[in-house]
Amino acid sequence: MRYSAGIICRCGLSLLLALLSTCSGLYEDQIGKFDWRQEYVGKLVDGAFDTSSVDRIIVATESNVLAAISAKTGDILWRQILENGPRGTVKLLHVASPSSTGARLNRGNTGHDVITVTGSNPALVRGWNSNLGTLEWEWSLIPSVPEQSAAPAVWFEHDGLLYHVVPVWGSHLEVTPYQAVSGQQARSTTSRIAAGWIAKDRCTLAGTFFACAIKEQLLALDLAADASSTVVSKPLGSEAVGRPRAVRGEPAVIQNGRYYSLRTDQKLTFGSKDAALVDRMVQEGEPILLQGMIDRMTNKLTINAHRLRDFVRFESVEFSTDFSETLGDPELIAIRCKQSSGGSTSRVAAGLVCRVLLSTEDGAIVLVQQGKIKWVREEALAEVDTADFLDLTLSDAEGAIEEELNNKNGDVFGAFQRRITAQLSHVKNLILHVLGVGPAPSKAQRAGLVRDDFGLHKMLIVVTSSGKIFGIDNVSGKHHWVRYLPSFTGFGNGQPMKLLVQRTSRFYPLPAQCVILGREKSDSKRGLLYIFNPITGQPVAGGGLVQLPYRVQQVALLHQTGPDFLKGLLLLDDDNNAHVVPDSLAAHANNFYMFTTDQRMAQMRGFLVQYRAGKLETLPTWQIDLSGAGKSQQIIAVEGKSPIEHVHSQGRVMADRSVLYKYINPNLVAVATTGPDNIHKYILNVYLVDVVSGSIVFSMSHKRIRPPLHMVHSENWLVYSYYNDKARRTEITSIELYEGKTQTNSTVWSSLDAPPLPMVERQSYILPMAVAALKETITEKGITSKHILIGLTTGAVAEMSWALLDPRRPVTSPEKAREEGIVPYMPELPLPHEILINYNQTVSHIRGIHTAPSGLESTCLVLVHGLDLFVTRVSPSKTFDLLKEDFDYFLITVVLVVLTSTSFVVKQLASKKIIKQAWK
C-alpha cells in the first residue's frame, strides 16, 4: 500500500508540473509595458464641490457613474459604477452643504454626505461617504403609478426631505416626500396636485417648482409648498420655443432667451446658449447669478455675475479666458470661492479666489481657477463609437530612400547620382548629429510619430458619439490631437458614425487620408463628410467638411484607386441613387454590388451600380423578407467579414491526409433576426446571405433565445453568443462551412456562378459569464491562428482559442480526431485567469473591441472601449517571429564564431587530406 501510494503521489506531482508548464501568465515587471488603460467617468449630469474637502468634486454622469475628482489635478479619487442601463440612470445627486447641514442636524445625524437616486422601477435611494466613496445605506421604491400611463419620475431635495414627483400628462402631479435615510413617507398620503396644463416635452423641474412653457406663458407650481398652492404664471410675450431650461441653485428657468425667477418678478436677458448658475456660498448667503457666454469668433469664455437681489454686477468673480475650439458650448455646474491671503491680481485683491466647474456639450469636464483653465478631462472617450489603427509616416531618412526608389523614369545615371548624394547627406547628418549641431528633426519626429521596424507603433483614431475625434498614440496613450465636429451625429437606426480609410501612409510622399461619415443634427438629417489627415489631425484643403445634399442610406469603399492611390466613397441615398466622392472616381464604381437592410421590417435589398454614359445607375437585383409568417421578426445584427482579412490556408488537413476545403465566400453576410412567438416565447433566426446573388446559403433557428446577441464572422466560420431563456445562461454557437474534398474554383470566387451549398458543422457551448462584446484577432497575412476575444460584463477580456470553439469537436474522442488535434467536446467553456488579457485592468461597461494587424505576423493590436480605454497586443500563436527578451546574444555570437572558425579549419584539413590521398 505504501508503494502504491508513493506512485500515486509521484504521478500527481508530475501531472501538476505538466499543467503548470502549459500555463502562461504575466510577470509583474511586464505590467504596463505593452498596454495601458485610461479611466473615465462620462458626461456630467450634476456635480458639486464637497464642502468637507478643498480638493474634492463630487460628480454624477450620464454613464451611470458616481465619482470624486481631485480639484487640483483632475484625477479620479474614487469611482462607483452603478447599474448598467436605465436601472443606473442618475435622477438626483445631492451633496451636503453648510446651509443644509444645519437643517439636517436638527433632525438628527444622518451619517451621510452624498445622496443619489437612480432608476425608476424600482428607484434606488443611496447614501454615500464622500471621503471614501463607500455605500452607507440604501432603500428602494416601487412606483404606484405604472410608467405606461405616466412620465418617468423626477426627484428633488428640500429641507432634508426627498420629493418623488410623478407627472401624468394633461392631468395631475403626484408628489410624495420621503425621509432620506429610512425611506418613510413624511406624509400619510401622496399629494395629487391638479395640473391639466402639463404637457410632454414642455416641462422641467427647477428647484422645487415644476414649470411648463405653454403657448405664450410660463406656468409653474411650487411642489414643496402646500398642495393648494397657486399656479405661478408669467407672460412670455411670444410663442414658447422648446422646454424651459432649469437654472442650477435657484427656482428659475431660461425661456425664449430670458431668465425668469419663479419666486419673484425678476427677469434678465440671456442668449440662447448662455449658461446660468446661482450660488449662495460666494458671498455669505447672498445669491449670485453667474452668466457664462462663449464667443466662437475669438474662442473666449466670459463669466458675468449679478446679485439676484438687485441685479447689480458682482465683479469679484467675473473673468474672461481662452476657450479651445475643441470644446463644445459650456454649462456652469458649480462654483466655490475662498478668501485669498494676498496677491496682485484684481480678483485676488478683491479677496476672492474662485474655482468654476464646467461641463461642455461634447462631454468634457473643465475646471477654471482664477480665470484660467486649470485642467480638462476628455470624457467624450467614455462613449466611443468607432476606432481604427493606422500606420505612422516614415522618418526623413526612410522617406528619402522611398522617394528615390519610387523614381522610375529610367535614368540610371541620375538614379546612381541621387543615391550617392543621399548617402553623403546621411553621413554628413550623422557627423553633425554627433557634434550636436545637426539639422532640427521634423515635427513628426519630435512628436515620436515615426513608423518603427515592426509596425507596432501606430496612430489610434477614435471617434466618439458626441462628434469628437482623437488621435492617440497606441504605445503611450498620449492624445496628439483633438477635433470637434459639433454638427455631426450618428444615424437614426442605431448605427454610429463611420470611419473610412481612403489612403494609408504607405504611399510616400502622399499623406494618409481618412473620412468620417455622419449626418446633421438638424431636422434635415442630410449626410456630412469630414476629410482629414489622421496623423496630424489637419483637415484637407477647403476645411475638410463636405455637406451632402441627400441622406445617406449605405456607404462602401471602392476597391480600385485613382492615380493618387485614393479610394473613392460609394454612397447610396434614400432614393437608391448612387454617388461617388470624389466624382473623378465614379468610373471605378461600375459593376459594384451593394445591399441595404430595413431593421424594423426585416427586409434586405440588393443593388447593382453601373457606370454608363458618364452617369451612375442603380439597378435593384434582389429582395428578401425575413420578417416571418407573422411579420414579427426584426433584424438585430448584420455582420460581414473584415475587408483587410487574408486567408492563408484554403483547406484543413484530415486524418487520412485528404484536404477538406473551406467555403470562403467574400460576399457572405450573417444576419440575425428575433421576435416573439406564441409557443416558444422568443425565436432567434440566423441567416448566411450572399449579398451579390441574394441567395440564403444557410439558416438556423434557436427557440426561447433572446438578446443580447454578439457576432463574429471571419473566413469560413461564424461565432455568436446569446442568452438562453429556457436554461437561463449565456451560450455561444460556432458554425463552420466547407466545400468538401474538392474545390469548386481555386482562383476566383464568383457568387453568380451558382456555387454548391456548403457542408455545415455546428456546435454550441456554455459560457459561465455574460458577454458584452466579441471580436476575432487579425494579422497581416493570416498565418497566425485565430483567437476569439470575449469581452465579459465583469470588465474582463478573455482570449479564447479557436480549438475550444471548433464545431468539429467530437462528443467522444475517436482516433481520427486525435490525429487531427481536435479536443473532445465538453459543453462548458473554461475561463481561467490566465486567458484574461487585461489581468486586473478592468474595463467597465465594455461596448466594443477593435483589432488591427501589426507589422509582425504574430502580433495583433487590440483596443477595448467602454467606460474606459484599454490598449494592448496579443500573440495567438506566440511570438514565433521574435527573439525572446532573455535571448543570450553573447552565447550565440560565440557559437557562430566558433562554428565559422571550425569550418575554415576543417576545410583546410579536408583539402590537405584530399591531396595526400591523390598522391597515394
| pLDDT tens-digit series, residues 554-598 | 999 998 888 889 999 999 999 999 999 999 999 999 999 999 999
| pLDDT tens-digit series, residues 480-525 | 999 999 999 999 777 899 999 999 988 888 899 999 999 999 888 8
**pLDDT value of position 67:** 96
**pLDDT value of position 103:** 42
In a domain, 320, yes or no: yes
| pLDDT tens-digit series, residues 826-880 | 999 999 998 999 999 999 999 999 999 999 999 999 999 999 999 999 999 988 8
pLDDT band at 311 (very low <50, low <70, confident <90, very high): confident
Question: Last residue of some domain: 343, 358, 382?
Answer: 382
Residue with cell 446633421: 520
| pLDDT tens-digit series, residues 782-794 | 999 999 999 999 9
In a domain, 354, yes or no: yes
Q: Does the structure show a pLDDT above 80 at 803?
A: yes
Does one domain contain both 288 and 432?
Answer: no
Does one domain contain both 351 and 432?
Answer: no
Does one domain contain both 736 and 874?
Answer: yes
Cβ-based neighbours of 485, under 8 Å, separated by 6 or more: 467, 468, 469, 516, 518, 528, 530, 545
The helix (H) or strand (E) run that includes residue 60 is strand 57-61
Mean pLDDT of the chain: 86
Of 618, 614, 579, 612, the C-alpha closest to 595 is 618
Does one domain contain both 705 and 816?
Answer: yes
CA distance 351 to 370: 12
Question: Last residue of some domain: 382, 402, 437?
Answer: 382
Q: Other C-beta atoms within 10 Å of 158: how many?
A: 17
Q: Does the structure show a pLDDT above 70 at 112?
A: no
In a domain, 908, yes or no: no
pLDDT band at 101 (very low <50, low <70, confident <90, very high): very low
| pLDDT tens-digit series, residues 877-918 | 988 888 877 888 889 999 999 999 999 999 999 998 899 888
Does one domain contain both 347 and 398?
Answer: no
- Mean pLDDT over 400-422 rounds to 67
Q: Does the structure show a pLDDT above 60 at 17?
A: no
The boundaries of the domain holding residue 798 are 626-745+752-882
Does one domain contain both 359 and 401?
Answer: no
pLDDT greater at residue 446 or residue 539: 539
Does one domain contain both 424 and 334?
Answer: no
Does one domain contain both 873 and 779?
Answer: yes
Buried b (16+ CB within 10 A) or exposed e, 691-719: bbbbeebbeeebebbbeebbbbbbbbbbb
- Mean pLDDT over 755-770 rounds to 91
pLDDT band at 358 (very low <50, low <70, confident <90, very high): very high
Question: Last residue of some domain: 447, 469, 492?
Answer: 447
- Domain total in the chain: 3
**pLDDT value of position 697:** 94
Return the percentage of the chain with pLDDT > 90, whole number: 56
pLDDT band at 32 (very low <50, low <70, confident <90, very high): confident
pLDDT greater at residue 903 or residue 142: 903
pLDDT greater at residue 343 or residue 396: 396
Side-chain half-sphere of 19: how many Cα atoms within 13 Å? 8
Q: Does the structure show a pLDDT above 80 at 400?
A: no
Of 67, 43, 57, the C-alpha closest to 380 is 43
Cβ-based neighbours of 312, under 8 Å, separated by 6 or more: 306
Cβ-based neighbours of 570, under 8 Å, separated by 6 or more: 555, 556, 557, 558, 578, 579, 580, 589, 592, 594, 609
Q: Does the structure show a pLDDT above 80 at 446?
A: no
pLDDT greater at residue 490 or residue 15: 490
| pLDDT tens-digit series, residues 690-723 | 999 999 999 999 999 989 999 999 999 999 999 9
Does one domain contain both 421 and 368?
Answer: no
pLDDT band at 408 (very low <50, low <70, confident <90, very high): low
pLDDT greater at residue 756 or residue 625: 625
**pLDDT value of position 812:** 79
- Residue 528 φ then ψ, to 5°: -135, 140
Return the percentage of the chain with pLDDT > 70, whole number: 89
Lowest-pLDDT range of 1-10, 348-357, 372-381, 715-724: 1-10
| pLDDT tens-digit series, residues 181-207 | 888 888 878 888 888 999 888 999 999
In a domain, 146, yes or no: no
pLDDT band at 802 (very low <50, low <70, confident <90, very high): very high
pLDDT band at 650 (very low <50, low <70, confident <90, very high): confident
Judge contact between 262 and 270, C-beta under 8 A: no
In a domain, 371, yes or no: yes
Cell numbers given for 917: 590521398
pLDDT band at 144 (very low <50, low <70, confident <90, very high): low
**pLDDT value of position 492:** 78
| pLDDT tens-digit series, residues 654-692 | 888 889 999 999 999 999 999 998 888 899 999 999 999
Q: Does the structure show a pLDDT above 80 at 350?
A: no
Does one domain contain both 695 and 801?
Answer: yes
CA distance 813 to 655: 13
Q: Does the structure show a pLDDT above 50 at 10?
A: no
Order of strands, sheet of 352-360, starting from the edge strand that comes earlier in the sequence: 330-339, 352-360, 365-369, 372-377
In a domain, 718, yes or no: yes
Of 331, 206, 204, 359, the C-alpha closest to 275 is 331
Does one domain contain both 634 and 690?
Answer: yes
In a domain, 526, yes or no: no
Cross-strand pairs, 623: 605
Complete DSSP assignment for 389-442: EEEPBPPHHHHHHHHHHH--S--HHHHHHHHHHHHHHHHHHHHHHHHT-PPPPP
pLDDT band at 818 (very low <50, low <70, confident <90, very high): confident
Judged on CB neighbours under 10 Å (0-12, 13-18, 19+), 491 is middle
CA distance 353 to 421: 62
pLDDT band at 398 (very low <50, low <70, confident <90, very high): low
**pLDDT value of position 862:** 97
pLDDT greater at residue 194 or residue 443: 194
Cell numbers given for 619: 439597378
pLDDT band at 18 (very low <50, low <70, confident <90, very high): very low
In a domain, 776, yes or no: yes
Q: Does the structure show a pLDDT above 80 at 545?
A: yes
pLDDT greater at residue 271 or residue 372: 372
Q: Does the structure show a pLDDT above 70 at 147?
A: no
Does one domain contain both 289 and 409?
Answer: no
CA distance 498 to 561: 20
Of 753, 731, 758, the C-alpha closest to 742 is 758
